[in-house]
Every structure is written in C-alpha cells, then in structure tokens.
Chains A and B, each alone.
Chain A
Amino acid sequence: MTIDDFATLLDRDRLPDRLELVQTSPAWVEDEDWIRVRDQIDSLIFSQFLFDKPLSVRRIVFLEPPEGEQGRSAAEHRSWVGGLIRDLFFLTMPSRGAEAPYQIRQLVRNPRATGPQTLVSDGWSDQTNDPWSEAFASTWAAPGCIENNLTPPDYPVGPVGDRDPRWYLWH
C-alpha cells in the first residue's frame, strides 16, 4: 500500500466502523510524509472515540525502532508508541481483551530474518474475508505480535513539575 492509500482513511465520512490497520514499515518513523499521515490517522481515531462514534480498531505497529534504540527514528518511535498509549489512557477504555474497542499490538521483529518480516503487509481494511484480513488475523494471533506493554501515565492532571516546579531541581 502506498501512502495515498492510507491517506484515504483520513476522510472522516468514510471511516469504517470496523478497522484493521498495520503500520510496520520504517517509513512511519523516518519519512516526513508518512509521519504526517500517521499523525493524522492517530488524531482521527482518537477523535472518533472521543466523539463516541461506534468504532472497533485493531492495530499492529512495530515493537522496536527499525534502526535500534539510538537516533532520530528511535525517538520518533518512542514518541509515537508512547502517545498511542496516552491516547488509550485519555479515552479511559480497556485496550486488552477481545471486547476492547481499540486494541494495539506490537510486532516483534526478527533481526536475522532476511525475507518479509511480517505475515501481513502494511495496510488497512474494513473487510473480514479478504486475503489481507486473513493474513492480518494470523499475524494478530502470532506469538510475535504482543499486546502493548507500555505503562500509561498515572498522573491524570499532567506532569508533576507543573504542580510542583521544585521537581525540576532534580529532574
């Protein structure tokens, strides 16, 4: 799928009630155009849930940044995945379990693999019986596709330093 195919999701009127989405290409944290579309997709999904629209989202993103833990793409990856978890926290919805309306799983990459590293290619679908959806279902159930394990923020007001600026004496 090209970035234009993902951009078609951004038309709010056409956002399906049921959405499966895979974003495991390094371009999602490296390419400015892809990052822009990625952000818009994130905002759109968030706002749909905030507006209480009937929606079910299952989403696969990668667990580790493509170029290791250092560098710009790693920072972009941390920011992205951390933000997704924050969105889930803001929305006060369960993110695990079959009934959760917005589920995110993270795909573990195999660094020694030479061929395609995911069973399903990047893309999105609102269908249940097309080949891509079937590949999505098997990837979703694979052991290397894990439920997100990031800790959500536990301070609902905001950063500690906002309320007690002395926090920055030591941090």
Chain B
Amino acid sequence: MYPLGVTVAIAVSLLIGRHAGGSVVTLAVGLFAALLTAITLVILLTLDVDSRWPSLQDIATEAYLIRWFVLAMTAITLAAFFDDATKARWVTTLAITLSLAGGFLGSLSLYHLFRISTGEGRQYFLGRLLSRQVSRVGLGSSVGDVVVGDAADNPDVESYLSRFQSAIDSSDITALRDRIAELAVAGNTISPAEIGALLALDLRVLRDLGRAVILGRLDSPEVGSVLFPSLGQLVVDHAGRTLEVRPTAVPRDVETDRIQLAAATYLGQAARTFAWIGAATYRDATEKEQAPPALNAAAAGSVTARDQILDAVDPDTSRHLPAGHTWREGLVDPTAALVWWWCFCDLNGSHDGRAFYAAIFMLTGEKFFGSFGWGNRYLLSELDDRLGDTDAPGRSARSLRSHEVVEAHGGLRNVALELFATSMASWRDRRRPIPAGLEQNWAYWDDPRRLARRARLFLPRTGEAWVKDSGDALDALTLLISRGAEHRGLAALVRRTTQRLPIVAVPPIILPQHRPAAAVLAVSAHLAPRTESDSYAELERFLDRLPTALLDGALLLAQEILYVDDAKEGSIATRRPTQRLIDLLTFIQRDQQTEVTQG
C-alpha cells in the first residue's frame, strides 16, 4: 500500500504539474508537526516504551510509523530545498501531494496506535505478533526424526515469555490473562503446519504458571479457577488445528496416522502437566496440613482442564460437537489412543476411570455401556473380548488394526500391567490425611472402596486370571522391568513420539524399568485374591521368589499407597515383608458391590 501511495502521488504530480506557491513548506511542516505531536502523546500515554513485549520497533512497524516519517520528511525536504524560481512545477506539486499522503498515512498511524493501545485491538495485535514470531521458530532442527530441544526456548519467543514471567513476578492476573488471550489469537492466525511451536509455548506457559502457584509466587485462586481451564481449552483447540493439515486420503486403518499421533502426544503432555500440578499442589498441601485457596483452585482447575482434554478425544463425547469440528470424531488411531492413554494414567491424574471408557471406544469403535465392576463386567476384559478374536465375523478394520498395535506393544496383558504400574507409581501417600478442600477429587478420596475400585480399573474380571501363577508373574515382571524391554511398551512409545515434536516432556517420561516397586505391585495385584475365600498361595510364592531389593521397594511403596487400616498396619509391623505385602494387597477385596449387597 505504501509504495502504491507514493507511486500514485508522483504520477498525479506529473500529470497535474500545478504550481502551488510558497505555502508548500508550511503545509508539509505543519502536517508533520501536528501528527508527530499527536503520535508522541499517544505513545507516551498508552504504551510502555521500555517494554520488550511489544517492543517499540514492533509498535512502529504495526503503526507504519517509520514509513510515515520517511514520507513526511521527503515532502518537507522537497518543499524546503527547492526554490520557487528554479524547481519544476511538478516537484512542488509532488511535495504537496506527498505532504497530503503523509498526512493520510500519519492519520492511519495514529488510528493504529489507538487501536493497539488498549482492549481487543491490542490483544489482536499482540496475538498476531506472537503468531509471526512463533512462525519464525518453526519446528526446530532435527537429527533424523528427533527434533532437538524445545521450541519455547527459541530466542524469537523470549520477549513474550519474559513479559509473561514479569506478570507472574508482579502477581498481575490481568496481564497473565492477556498473555493467554494472545496465545488464543495466535492459534487462530498461525498456519496449522507451524502450530507445534505454539503448542510448545502453551505447555511452557502452563508449566510456569503451575510452578508459580506451587511455590506460592501466585496466591490468587483465579489462576486455578480461570487460567488453568482457559489453558486446557487452548491446548485442545491448538492440538485440534494440527488435524487440519490432514491429507485428503489417509489410509488410517492400515498405518499409523501420524497427525493424530502428534495431536494425541500434545494433549497427553498437557494432561500430564495438569496432573503434575494437581499432584504437586496436593503434596504441598499435605505438608502444610491445609490447602490455601490458590492451591485448592489449582487442583480443581487442573481437574477441569483434564476433563476438557478428555471430552475432546473421547469419541463418545466429541461426536456431539458440530459437524466439521476438528475433534468431531475424537482420537481413532490405535497408536494415538495408546499414547494418550498412558499419558492420562501418569502422575496420579484425575478421571482415569473415564479415560478407560474413552480408550476402549477409541480402540474398538464401540462404547462400553454400564458401570465397570458391577455384574463382573470389567473394562479390560471387555476390551480383550473385542480385540482378541480376530477371526470373528463382522470385526471392524479399526478393531483389527488395534489388535495389531496392542500386540506390537507386548499384548493387552503387558499394556494393562504397564498402565497399572504407571498409575500406582504416583498414587498419593494415604498415610497423610487429606487436606481440607481436596476431599472431593477422585484421585484423593479417602474411602478404601474407592481405592479398590480404582485398582479394579486395571484388572480383568473376577475368575479370569491374566497372571496365572508365580512363574507367570515373574515372566510378566521381567517384561516390565528388565533392561531388555526398554524399547517396548507404552512409555517408550510416548517417549519416541514426543521426541519427534518440538516439545520436551516435563515431568520426564519414566519407563516402567525405573518404577520397579510399582511394577511388582501391579503384578502382585493380579495374583492377589479378590475374595477372602481365594488362596493367596501363588502370590506368596511370587513374593518369596523376589530378590530383596524388589521386595523391599514394593513394600515401601505399598505402605504409602495401599494403606487403608491403621490398626492392621500396627498389627502386621512385626511380620515378614512377604506377609506384610500380602496383607496390604487385601485392599483389593473391598469390593463395593459385595459390601453394598451385604449391607
């Protein structure tokens, strides 16, 4: 527009060639001075010239200030240094035209300055600015298919992050809200192919906010109650935009849908980060023996945000979205489903029960109806029934593909054991009382029957042993914790898919090989008797065969996460480790259905 305006001004001057006399200098200088005063006043009164976000250069570029300045100075120079007697008439006319064009452009600059100084205009300006900067970051450098580093560490987004950090330091909730709104605008304007770098920024912002709340640097409940759910929705929207780059014909029932896999990984990491915030705030609150409002709100906000993520990927809930919505069909690729499933079970996050329902729908294309555990209907057994019989008539292509993918990761038993070990590794310490205000979160409920019900999510139906005896249990444990199995399994898969994206997982992805105690407990829970009349001989045999390091580790963890009975713990303290572990594992017999029936 700028070169066009100047060209038109020159052309008009040549055509008209009109002499306008000595008022040219006055006109040019007058217009320039008036606009310069107005622009300076607006900048001084409304914009922080020391700011790096946006920088003065960003503002000058957005408001065409430099172009206006050059144009106005050219007009003044033409008018001032050519005298009336010698200069061509068209030059004088050009000076007048350029002055007027400068006046127009200066007014435009003034308008843009007003627009970007406050309100939605400023938000839109900064959002687009962020979008441009993130586009420059791109997806980073890579070695093979491994992307090096985190896109949020790129210097191009440093100014945004430093402004975000200063808002945290000054506990300025309005500024934090503005920064998040800018992420939303950037998400709408950036190309879907570059959205990965923006998602890296989303995750960084989320992590920094969580850290600030846990460390007590932000004590406003608004962070948890408003900003966390906003960020949750933002990540869902941005991950949804990755799906827009889908080629028109992807044979999704035949090979892994890499686009869904990327979206699942981003959402999985966001779910893990929210789980981490919830777990860390809980741990902090247990030490303080109370949950201050900010921590309370952070835990609740994390639960809400995970709920939003779950709603987006669950084919059962997402089908209610409008036609054409990127999340309309949820996650349907089996590998993407497994990645998301593992992430959702990690770090003691909320809604793991609903996540199981969602994962079964993703893998089989059919919903699990009813309440698991009642009538001996169990989620994993039903999943096994649906995936297991590959020769059954009417098997869907998705179901057959899911069967292949699950088998490639060690089969459903190993998948279930790894999920169980991953979940148990970070269950809360039940010996510490739940701080007031956190009682209603599923992950922290005190009722032992809830604990048993949660464990039963990861188990097959009663009477259907997936771990048959002590030898089978040792085999299963070997597959979980031996070094040689490091490249298999879900955590290794999540690690690989994360490495292909411009993000770094924080907290880090922990393989089951590094969670030996939880692995032992997961295998033991499969062998543990479900009712008082069942034998625990095989469980005892298995535990007796374990090396001391594994047994001691498992006992230490069980004493924290399976502790349900004060009196019992006291009475068993003198017994040998195997017996103590067996006693702790009887928690699983607290079958809600049986107790309700008997009650």
Binding site for B on A (CB under 8 A): 35-36, 38-44, 46-47, 50-52, 72, 79-80, 83-84, 86-87, 89-93, 153, 156-159, 161-166, 168-169
Cβ contact of B484, chosen from A39, A93, A164, A166, cutoff 8 A: A39
Assuming the A-B contacts A46-B478, A52-B545, are A80 and B483 also in contact, with contact meaning beta carbons closer than 8 angstroms in the complex? yes
- Collect the chain B residues with CB atoms within 8 Å of residue A51's CB: 471, 474, 545
Cβ contact of A42, chosen from B143, B426, B482, B545, cutoff 8 A: B482
CB atoms of B482 and A156 under 8 A apart: no
Closest chain B residue, CB of each to CB of A52: B545
CB atoms of A164 and B552 under 8 A apart: no
Q: Which label, helix, strand, loop or mixed, suits the secondary structure of the B interface?
A: helix
- Can you give 14 contacting A-B residue pairs, CB < 8 Å? A39-B483, A40-B484, A43-B478, A43-B482, A47-B474, A47-B475, A52-B545, A90-B481, A91-B547, A92-B547, A162-B426, A165-B276, A165-B507, A169-B280
* Closest 7 A/B residue pairs (Cβ): A43-B484, A83-B483, A156-B553, A39-B484, A92-B547, A42-B484, A47-B478
11 additional A-B pairs beyond A39-B485, A163-B560, beta carbons within 8 Å, are A39-B487, A50-B545, A51-B471, A51-B474, A79-B486, A156-B552, A157-B553, A159-B515, A162-B515, A165-B279, A169-B280
- Collect the chain A residues with CB atoms within 8 Å of residue B517's CB: 156-158
- Collect the chain A residues with CB atoms within 8 Å of residue B425's CB: 158, 162
CB atoms of B483 and A43 under 8 A apart: yes
- Collect the chain A residues with CB atoms within 8 Å of residue B537's CB: none
B179-221 toward A: CB 8 Å interface, digit per residue (1/0)? 0000000000000000000000000000000010011000000
- Does any Cβ of A come within 8 Å of B582's Cβ? no
- Collect the chain B residues with CB atoms within 8 Å of residue A164's CB: 283
Assembly CA distance A89 to B474 (angstroms): 17
- Collect the chain A residues with CB atoms within 8 Å of residue B515's CB: 158-159, 162
Cβ contact of A169, chosen from B215, B513, B545, cutoff 8 A: B215
- Collect the chain B residues with CB atoms within 8 Å of residue A42's CB: 482-484
Closest chain A residue, CB of each to CB of B429: A163
- Collect the chain A residues with CB atoms within 8 Å of residue B487's CB: 35-36, 39
CB atoms of A83 and B552 under 8 A apart: no
CB atoms of B552 and A168 under 8 A apart: no
- Does any Cβ of A come within 8 Å of B518's Cβ? yes
Assuming the A-B contacts A90-B549, A169-B211, are A158 and B510 also in contact, with contact meaning beta carbons closer than 8 angstroms in the complex? yes
CB atoms of B280 and A44 under 8 A apart: no
Assembly CA distance A145 to B276 (angstroms): 44
Cβ contact of A86, chosen from B214, B426, B513, cutoff 8 A: B513
Assembly CA distance A80 to B485 (angstroms): 11
- Does any Cβ of A come within 8 Å of B550's Cβ? yes
- Collect the chain A residues with CB atoms within 8 Å of residue B474's CB: 47, 50-51
Assembly CA distance A36 to B474 (angstroms): 21
- Collect the chain A residues with CB atoms within 8 Å of residue B560's CB: 163
Residues of B532-549 at the interface with A, using a CB-CB cut-off of 8 Å, are 545, 547-549
Closest chain A residue, CB of each to CB of B273: A168
- Collect the chain A residues with CB atoms within 8 Å of residue B87's CB: none
- Collect the chain A residues with CB atoms within 8 Å of residue B143's CB: 72
CB atoms of A157 and B280 under 8 A apart: no
Q: Which label, helix, strand, loop or mixed, suits the secondary structure of the A interface?
A: helix
B329-346 toward A: CB 8 Å interface, digit per residue (1/0)? 000000000000000000
Closest chain B residue, CB of each to CB of A166: B280
Assembly CA distance A161 to B481 (angstroms): 18
- Collect the chain A residues with CB atoms within 8 Å of residue B429's CB: 163
Assuming the A-B contacts A162-B425, A169-B215, are A83 and B475 also in contact, with contact meaning beta carbons closer than 8 angstroms in the complex? no
Q: How far is the CB of B288 from chain A (nearest CB, A)?
A: 12
- Does any Cβ of A come within 8 Å of B176's Cβ? no
- Does any Cβ of A come within 8 Å of B556's Cβ? yes
Q: How far is the CB of A102 from chain B (nearest CB, A)?
A: 12
Assembly CA distance A41 to B474 (angstroms): 17
CB atoms of A90 and B547 under 8 A apart: yes
- Collect the chain A residues with CB atoms within 8 Å of residue B508's CB: 161, 168
Assembly CA distance A156 to B549 (angstroms): 6
Assembly CA distance A44 to B483 (angstroms): 10
B126-146 toward A: CB 8 Å interface, digit per residue (1/0)? 000000000000000001101
- Does any Cβ of A come within 8 Å of B94's Cβ? no
CB atoms of B506 and A168 under 8 A apart: yes
- Collect the chain B residues with CB atoms within 8 Å of residue A86's CB: 483, 513-514
CB atoms of A92 and B283 under 8 A apart: no
CB atoms of B507 and A168 under 8 A apart: yes
CB atoms of A158 and B477 under 8 A apart: no
- Collect the chain A residues with CB atoms within 8 Å of residue B214's CB: 166, 169
Pick from B478, B481, B484, B506 the residue with the most CB of A within 10 Å. B484
CB atoms of A165 and B483 under 8 A apart: no
CB atoms of B486 and A156 under 8 A apart: no
CB atoms of B506 and A93 under 8 A apart: no
Closest chain A residue, CB of each to CB of B471: A51
CB atoms of A89 and B557 under 8 A apart: no
CB atoms of B426 and A165 under 8 A apart: yes
Assembly CA distance A93 to B548 (angstroms): 9
- Collect the chain A residues with CB atoms within 8 Å of residue B545's CB: 50-52
- Does any Cβ of A come within 8 Å of B232's Cβ? no
Closest chain A residue, CB of each to CB of B146: A72
- Does any Cβ of A come within 8 Å of B347's Cβ? yes
CB atoms of A93 and B547 under 8 A apart: yes
- Does any Cβ of A come within 8 Å of B102's Cβ? no
- Collect the chain A residues with CB atoms within 8 Å of residue B307's CB: none
CB atoms of A166 and B549 under 8 A apart: no
Assembly CA distance A144 to B157 (angstroms): 50
Assembly CA distance A91 to B549 (angstroms): 7
Assembly CA distance A91 to B483 (angstroms): 12
CB atoms of B547 and A87 under 8 A apart: no
CB atoms of B471 and A50 under 8 A apart: no
- Does any Cβ of A come within 8 Å of B284's Cβ? yes
Q: How far is the CB of B557 from chain A (nearest CB, A)?
A: 5
CB atoms of A165 and B280 under 8 A apart: yes
Assembly CA distance A52 to B542 (angstroms): 12
Assembly CA distance A161 to B474 (angstroms): 27
- Does any Cβ of A come within 8 Å of B301's Cβ? no
B19-38 toward A: CB 8 Å interface, digit per residue (1/0)? 00000000000000000000
